[in-house]
């Protein structure tokens, strides 16, 4: 059994994390959709964001390519491409990580943005200037406009 098939079976058995839903493409086990709920006490709370996940043939030795499909205002997410600046998706990848764990790390990034390595300079500048009100209102506005509201 390949690592990809094993992970699919594990996720199918236990979708224990209510904040994360992982759905494989019916025709290609290497393509997944991740649905994550915005963390509580963040400007993303109350909204669901879609991630596109592409698992390489060399997984779990190489990280998946993960990007936001839903437009989001966040310093570590490129506004146009949805690219995520997250060390575990680049230099700090470990075969011990799972797709579920990657989604948890993205949720943690939503709760604690890193403005010193921005892909979205506008969001990074607001946070570096300690303008939490401006950042939160922009992030919330984009969430309302682009993300699906939780029911």
**Which sequence positions are flagged as catalytic?**
85
136 vs 18, 51, 64, 70, CA distance in Å?
A: 24, 21, 29, 17
Written as six digits, the tokens of 108 are: 């943690």
Chain-centre distance of CA 44, in angstroms?
12
Burial class from Cβ neighbours inside 10 Å (0-12, 13-18, 19+) for residue 143 reads: buried
Written as six digits, the tokens of 46 are: 């109350």
28 vs 23, 78, 80, 100, 101, CA distance in Å?
A: 11, 26, 25, 18, 21
Written as six digits, the tokens of 8 are: 């699919």
- Cis bond before residue 120 (omega within 30° of 0): no
């Amino acid at each position: 059994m390949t690592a990809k098939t094993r992970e699919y079976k594990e996720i199918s058995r236990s979708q224990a994390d209510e904040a994360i839903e992982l759905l494989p493409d019916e025709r290609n086990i290497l393509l997944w959709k991740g649905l994550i709920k915005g963390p509580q006490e963040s400007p993303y709370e109350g909204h669901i964001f879609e991630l596109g996940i592409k698992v390489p043939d060399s997984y779990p030795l190489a990280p998946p390519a993960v990007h936001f499909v839903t437009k989001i205002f966040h310093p570590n997410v490129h506004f146009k491409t949805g690219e995520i600046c997250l060390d575990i998706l680049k230099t700090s990848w470990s075969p011990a990580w799972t797709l579920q764990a990657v989604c948890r790390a993205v949720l943690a990034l939503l709760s604690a943005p890193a403005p010193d390595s921005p892909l979205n300079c506008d969001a990074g500048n607001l946070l570096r200037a300690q303008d939490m009100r401006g950042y939160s209102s922009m992030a919330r506005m984009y969430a309302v406009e682009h993300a699906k509201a939780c029911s």
